[in-house]
A and B are shown apart, each in its own frame.
Chain A
Amino acid sequence: GESVGLHLPTLSVQEGDNSIINCAYSNSASDYFIWYKQESGKGPQFIIDIRSNMDKRQGQRVTVLLNKTVKHLSLQIAATQPGDSAVYFCAEMSASSASKIIFGSGTRLSIRP
Chain B
Amino acid sequence: IAGITQAPTSQILAAGRRMTLRCTQDMRHNAMYWYRQDLGLGLRLIHYSNTAGTTGKGEVPDGYSVSRANSDYFPLTLASAVPSQTSVYFCASSPGQAFKETQYFGPGTRLLVL
**Interface of A with B (CB < 8 Å)?**
32, 34, 36, 41-46, 49, 89, 93, 95, 97-101, 103-106
Contacts and interface: CB of A to CB of B under 8 A. Distances in A.
A44 B99 contact: no
B35 to A, nearest CB: 8
Chain A interface, >50% SS class: loop
Interface of B: 4, 40-45, 48, 56, 58, 90, 98-100, 102-108
8 contacts: A42-B107, A42-B108, A89-B42, A89-B43, A93-B99, A99-B48, A104-B42, A106-B42
A101 B40 contact: no
B105 A45 contact: yes
Tell me which of B4, B43, B45, B107 has the highest count of chain A C-beta atoms within 10 A of its own C-beta: B43
Nearest to A90: B42
Nearest to A5: B42
Contacts of A32: 100
Contacts of A95: 100
Given A103-B43, A105-B41, A43 B100 contact: no
